[in-house]
Each structure stands twice: as C-alpha cells, then as structure tokens.
A and B are shown apart, each in its own frame.
Chain A
Amino acid sequence: MLGKLDSNEQTNSIVHPRYGCAIGAAYTVSAIPRGIPLVHCGPGCVDKQYFMLSFNNGYQGGGYSGGSAIPSVNAGENEVVFGGEKKLDDLIKSSLKIMDGDLFVVLSGCIGELVGDDVGSVVKKYQKKGYPIVYAETGGFKGNNLIGHEIVTQAIIDQFVGVYSGEKEKGLINLWSEVPYFNTNWRGDFIEIKRILEGAGFKVNIFFGSESRGIKDWTDIPRAQFNLVLSPWVGLKTAKHLEKKYNQPYLHIPIIPIGAEQTTEFIRKVVNFSGINNGKSEEFIEKEENRYYYFLDHFADFFSEFWFGLPSKYAVIGDSAYNIALNKFLVNQLGLLPVLQIITDNPTEKYREIIQKQYKELAEDVSTEVQFIEDGYIIEKKLLEADFGTTSPIIFSSAWERDVIKQLNGIIIETCCPSSFEVVINRTYIGYTGGLTLLEKIYTTSISSGA
C-alpha cells in the first residue's frame, strides 16, 4: 500500500471540507462595520474562502468590504522568488487612497510566510504614521478559519486598541460568540443575543454585524466589566488574553441558548456573574417567557395531534457551537432521541474534554457521546451506518450530507457551514425568538418533505 493508515478511518485526507483556512478570517474583518481586510497572498486564496464562508454558506454576500472588494497582493512568481514586501507596500498605500474604511487589517497567507516576507515591518511603517492598520499572520497551514478568527481579534486588540488602565463600566460586556460568516446564522443570532443581554440590563460590545458600532465597539473593549465567551471553545483564547492584558475577568458559557428554558438560565447566569441588580432581567424574562409559551401553547396542537408521523431520532453533524446548542434544545425542549453526534470544526485538543462533558449531561436522563471528525468521507460513512431504527431520522448538518440523507430517507436541516441549499438573511435559531423559528423550520421541513 502507499499509505500507512487504514483508509476506512480518518487519515490526513479531507473530503467535503467544512471550514476554510486561517486567512478565511478576512471575513472576521469584513464583519466589522467599515473594517477592510487586505490580503497578502496569492490570487485565489480569499476567493475560495468567500465561497466556503459566505456565498455557498447561506448566500450571505460580501457586504461592504468582503467578496471581490478585498484588496489582494495576488502574488505571482516574482513575489515568490524576490519576496512580496514591495507589492504589499504598494497595495497598502493604494488601499488607503481607494478603500473607504475605519480599520484596515492585513492578513498574510502561505506564500508570504513561506518566503519570509516581513509583513510586520511593512505595516508598522503605516502604523507610525497614524493609520488605523494592523497585521495578522494567518498562513493557511496554521489552521482553519476559527483559529484565524482569534489571530485576527487578538491582532486588533494588541495593535489597534492598545493599552488602557482606566475605569471599567459595570454591566458593559464584550461578547465573544459565533464566528462571523462561518456560523451561517451569525447575523440574526447576534441581533438576538444583543437584544437579550440589553433586555436584561446590560450594555454590549458586539463587534460584528448590523448591531455593531464598528471600531467604537473595539476601542471600548478595555472599559468592559467582563468578557462573555458564549461558545464551546472559540473565544476562550481571546478572553484569556484580555484577562491578562486589561485585568478583565471572563465568564465561559459553552452552550448558546435555544428556547425559553435555556435562554432564561443563560440570562440568570450572566446577571449572577456580573452582580447587577436582577430586577430588570427578571421582568424581561417574564415578558419573554409569556410570549414564548403563548406560541408554544398553539404549537402543541400540531405537536401532539399530527397523525402522519414526526421524526424522533436525530443526528447533528457540525461545528461545536451549534452542535451542542442544538442537542441541548432537541433533547430538553422536544424530547427527541440523539443517535449520532459529530463535531467537525477541529477544536483545539485541550478543549475537547469540556465539550464531551456537555454531551454526557444533556439532560438528567439523557447522556450521549460525541466524536470529532473532519473528513466528510468518514462522517458520511458513519451517518449511513448509524442505527436510526425504522422511521425517518432528522439530520442537522451541512449541505454535504444531502446524498447520504437521501439514502437514509431522512430529513435534512442545514445548520452548519457550508449550508449551500439555504438562503439566510436575518434568521436566528437561538434565544427566545430563534427557538420558535427553529421549530417552524424543523416541522415545516418534516411534514413537507414527502408531500
């Protein structure tokens, strides 16, 4: 044989990728209002990230400064042989003249890092002149776009936000949660998280998307009372960095709340941690729950009386954040039965134990296992071999699983990157609002799939 490992197990190979590479964090930058990514890489690198993270992931679009607006060195043979610093310098100089932005972030790719371009020294020249520009070393071989996301957030904090030793504001939160663009619903989800936290009496620096104040949110970071990491692992590195840098504590909540039960619990945890008065939050909870259960009451007729069968067994294949959140909701709100759980975003080894623990304690009476696999061939094989009994399973996954789900006669809800057969605008599946939207999606798909 050519290779040493068994091809029926995960090797180094990846078929049907479910993430981009570190330079995909160009989309972390373009998610900041008036943030402009500049890429120091070959032609093609960032174009590819666009399709994985944005276009064929809910058709989110490039927005103000993504897609084909991204300035790029488009390194050629000349830059490989003689280095690309000159071309990068030209690009920065011309970008500052042509692109209208508040914050410029230079992301370096594989070529510059392999040939040894000193991107830092090129960028520092402009920093000294007072331009709002930073650089991040995001060579694609360093890891996936989630790793790149935190390289970029840290670069902005260190090179743009800078030192601070002033007062902190009680009740002001820095929110580190889903990864923009990669988490298909991030835009709608961020609206909902901010709405909930503000409803409970907080102020929130949200950094990305329609609710962000752009660079104002970023320069406000050091003033926050604490960092809220609402995600299983992405964001923890940033929060730990901020803890050291600004002496800012952090609260880690690995489960993004879906539905009333989870969301209420989430609010109380955050209020409790911050020590703000809980009068406003309890009032908010009451109002939100009243509304949520008004709708759930109506939904109950369908749920208990639909004669023609509804799915009971499910699998979730996807990134850690949505995977855990969905499991918690499906088990606790709906009483569905978990069969197969696969996390596909390659969490850093040291965080895997925290993640596994969540699956062990899904509910008082429900415990399940989770596997970490990135290769689509193996993922799809496991899905095909899973025992869903005799009824149609419901599978929460990316677009890649469609072929296998057809063979299983199952129902597919695309909930992770790449969601290529979903058009997403401001939809959210989280919080009070999103929980109900998710119910609509699950059951509309279920009852219409065979109609």
Chain B
Amino acid sequence: MVRDKSINLHLVDVENREKRLGTIIAWDGSASGLVKQSNYQARALKRGQGCGGSAKGESCKLCELKMPFNQQTMCTQSIVACQVGNIPDAILIEHSSIGCSAIHPRFNVGYKIGLARRKKKVENIQIVSTNLLERDMVFGASEKLRQSIQDAWVRFKPKAIFISAACTTAIIGEDIVSVAKEAEEKLGIPVVPLSCEGFRSKHWSTGFDISQHGIIRQIVNKNPKKQKNLINIIALWGTDYFSEMLNPLGLKVNYLIDMATVDELAQSSEAIASATFCHTLGSYYAAALEQEYGVPDIKAPQPYGFPATDDWLRAISKVANKEKEVEEYIIKEHERVQPKIDELKKKLKGVKGFVATGSAYAHGIISVLKELGVEVNGSVVFHHDPVYDGGDERQDTLKYLVDNYGDIEHLTVSKTQQFQFYGLLRRVNPDFIIIRHNGLAPLAAKVGIPAFALGDEHLPVGYEGIIRVGEALLNVLARRKFGENLKKHVKLPYTKWWLEQEDPFILAKHPEILDEEQEVMVKKEKLC
C-alpha cells in the first residue's frame, strides 16, 4: 500500500479521531454488518481527506445513531491525565478548575499498581492543578499557569512538563501554547501544551492521540541511534507479560506511555518496531513513529488467541530477523498450553460471555473467549474506529475476529451508557461480563450477572493469556451468588416503560415518543 503522510506532526494539535478515522459512538447490529459498513480498506486509502475517508462520497460516513438521552462518561482531559500524568520524572499541569482534577485519587491507585507491576518505585502520582476560580474566568489565568509551571519546576525538577487545557481554559481562550514556549526557553526542558478540553471530541480516546502527538513532537529523540534489540509496546498499566513472549526472540520491551520515564519515551524512535496490546490505543503512536523515523509498525492483528498470536509473533520475527527461532517457539508454546486449555474448555462448556470494553481490545478478548469454547453472541464497545491510523488491512481487528471465529450477532457501539446496558444484557442473557471503564458493571451485578473487571489489560495476551483468562473466569463465575441474591433486593433507577423497551436505541429511531403527552410522574405536594 502506498503510504501518504497521514499524520501531520507540524501542527500543535492532533486532528480528532472522528475526523481522522470516522469514529462513531452509537451503532447497533452484527459484527459482520459493522465490518461491511466500516469498509476498512477503502477508508484506509482515503485517510487524510477528511470525514474519516473521503471528502465527497456519502458512503464515507458510518451511520451513527443519535440518542436524545445520555449519561455521564469520561473525557479526553481525563485520558491525558492517565497518560502523560503517569510519567514518573515528568509533571503534568492541569490548567483548569479543581473539579477537572477530581479523578486523581483513582489515577493514583492505578499508577501505584502500575509501578508495582513494572517493578518501579511505588509512589504517589504528582499532577498540579492551576486551580482556577470565577475571577480567572473573567480576567484570564496565564499568570496562574506561569506560577504553577514554576512550582512544578522548583518542587519536582521534572525532565519534562505537560500542560493540559480544559473546557474553561479553551472557552476563555487561554494561550497555553505561548506560555509553554516561553517556559521551555526559560527552563531548558520540553514543555508540551495539549489541547484536550473535554468538549472537543465525542470520544475520550482522542485523548490518547493528543498525548502521543505531544510526546512524538517534543519528547521523542529526533536523531535516533538504532537499538537492535528494543521493541516498543504501546500499553497502559498491564503486567509485564510481553517480556515472556519477546525475550526468547532476543528482544527487550520498551513500554509506552504509562510508567515510562522521559528517557524511555525519548528512545522510542530508536526501536526496531512498535506493537501494542490494543490498536485503539497504540495505532497513532506506532504509525507516527513509522512515518517519521522509519520504526516499523507491526502489521498484524493483536496477540489474542492462537492464530493472531502466531501472526503477531511472525510479523515481529521478520523485523528482528528471528524467523527460524519464532517457528520453534510457536510450536513449543502451542504444545505447552494446549492441554491446559483443553482442561479449561471442559470446565467452561456451555458458558456464555459478554464483553464490554474499548473497541479493538474487545475484538481481542472475544477471540480469547472463543478459544476457551465460551459462547459470545453479544458485546458492547465504547466507540468504533472503522479504520486505525496504521491503515494496514492485517490490523483490521474486527474483520479478523469475524473471519476466524465467526459472527457476533449483537455488536453494539455505546459510550458507557448504563441505561442501554440492561436491554443489551437481556437480549443475550450471559453468565458473566468482562468489563473495562466504570459504570456498566454495577448494573450487571444488580441484575445478577457477575463481572470480571479486567484491570490488568495484559492478562489475555499471548498463549498463556488464554489460560490466565480461563482461570480468572472460573473465579468470576463463582461470584454469581452475590448477584443472584442482590437482584432480589435492589431496584434500578429506570422506569418500567424503559426497562420494557426491546430496542436500546428506540429513542434515536422514534424521538417522537418523547413528545407524546406525559403524565406528571410525581405530583408536587402542596404545602399550604
């Protein structure tokens, strides 16, 4: 495929995912239907022409449902904090009111666990808020930003500073780029402005791209000296299971971005290749490194289940010149894990699962469940990218899933919308759900379905990952008792009318329902 310069690193700002890739957040149908509508290959060729594909044809836009009702979700500014806020020797400054920093206790817990998993010193996350108040909205807040940059510098002596914007600072027109430039000159370290205000993108995953864009522009080593045994794995907080798979090929893993030091980020341009546990997360970084520094983006599906892990390892072995070794490794590993997987399959016979996670990652997890003989005929992903930045058809994770493991009858795209989740579960009636992000699992518990909160995102990776997931599922299924008891005693906050609806997108298709004469649900009590 001819590669154009689809990523523009000259711009301070990244282009939103919905514009770059045609990302959608509401859709309902079958997996094969979504493959067809996504039209990955055609879209990949047209990238960089707007509308996630083409500037003209109507076919460029994936059909997206619009609901009048939404529930709270995450935003891009949060994602930026859980990315560049997790670099031990850098400091993130959030140029915003204190509420935008209210999620730090959560990120602190995740960061500490991440540090422990990577065997680094466990300590508190350090993110500075400029703590803006009402008068700053009127008079501007650049002086506060300068003060916070100084505080970050004096207190922590960071190797880099990131500054994130928020809804307020974007609306009042704070010039973060100029202040960052001025600070960079004064301090002699990279000071990276990130415009990640929550309202700018319809999906939080644009926050990954914003973080990666800033790192590639200002942190990554621009005169790389190749390191022949270094491979980038674009990851989150997962346990270091990639080394088990890649050390036998003589490779050392360079994890990006969470818990990586500034030097580890800088050397990402020196690696022999980049791969990821999830193309939703890693594709922008990997494609940009390939485009700018010739670091190959591994052209393979994600390493979940037998065939994809085989393909993934083979693709890596090609760039590492270990093609012979990898074949031996693959045979040995298949033989090693097969008997354990057969055992697990017996125990999981007849079990039905449901996956509710980020997009590309869900495709991988469903593969692993299918390897274990678990039936999956329903899944909800929090957004859908019809194409990834890598643009290579071998990375088309959804098509790979359908081609290798068959169709998923009900595949829904819905951005952690709990009110829809009830109907989605009732449609397929699973024995358990696998879940990431907050919000959906509590509802599952209240209707009696145990949830496997997949906090260690590397758990399902590779051959051993199939076993790890199988064992974890047996533990989760045992928790059914908790939900079965709970569901008899709690009420959901939704009306009987809503819970009886069979189509979770009914209001998008028939908004006129809302205009029907409504009864006053509760008569306000007259006091006098």
Contacts and interface: CB of A to CB of B under 8 A. Distances in A.
Given A23-B99, A98-B495, A111-B171, A3 B147 contact: yes
B527 A77 contact: no
B73 A80 contact: no
Interface stretch (A35-43, A257-265, A328-336, A425-433): A35-43
B73 A3 contact: no
B418 to A, nearest CB: 4
Nearest to A37: B72
Contacts of B418: 67-69
A67 B137 contact: no
B97 A100 contact: no
B126 interface: yes
B104 interface: yes
A61 to B, nearest CB: 7
Interface in B186-202: 186, 197-202
Interface residues of B, number: 91
A24 B68 contact: no
A94 B520 contact: no
Interface string B128-149: 1111111011000001101111
Given A42-B199, A44-B74, A420-B105, A11 B99 contact: no
B154 A8 contact: yes
Interface in A344-365: none
A296 interface: no
B351 to A, nearest CB: 26
Nearest to A110: B168
Contacts of B443: 68
Interface stretch (A138-146, A267-275, A302-310): A138-146
A140 B98 contact: yes
Contacts of A8: 154-155
Contacts of B514: 90, 93-94, 97
Contacts of A141: 97, 132-134, 136-137, 168
A160 B524 contact: yes
A19 B518 contact: no
Given A46-B72, A222-B527, A67 B438 contact: yes
A207 to B, nearest CB: 16
Contacts, number: 300
Contacts of B167: 42, 75, 80, 110-111, 114
Contacts of A110: 97, 99, 167-168, 171
Interface stretch (A124-132, A195-203, A316-324, A437-445): A124-132
A374 B128 CA distance: 12
Interface string A5-17: 1011001111111
A392 interface: no
Contact of A98 (B69, B104, B149): B69
Interface string B192-217: 00000111111010000000000000
A179 B158 CA distance: 37
Contacts of B152: 13
Interface in A76-103: 76-77, 79-80, 90-91, 93-103
Contacts of A219: 525, 527
B173 to A, nearest CB: 11
A111 B524 contact: no
Contacts of B131: 12-14, 374
Nearest to B520: A130
Interface of B: 67-78, 97-106, 108-109, 123-124, 126-134, 136-137, 143-144, 146-155, 167-168, 171-172, 182-183, 186, 197-202, 204, 416, 418-419, 438-440, 442-443, 491-498, 507, 513-514, 518, 520-525, 527-528
8 contacts: A13-B128, A24-B102, A52-B103, A70-B72, A94-B69, A110-B97, A400-B105, A418-B105
Given A110-B99, A131-B521, 5 more contacts: A4-B147, A48-B100, A62-B442, A72-B71, A140-B99
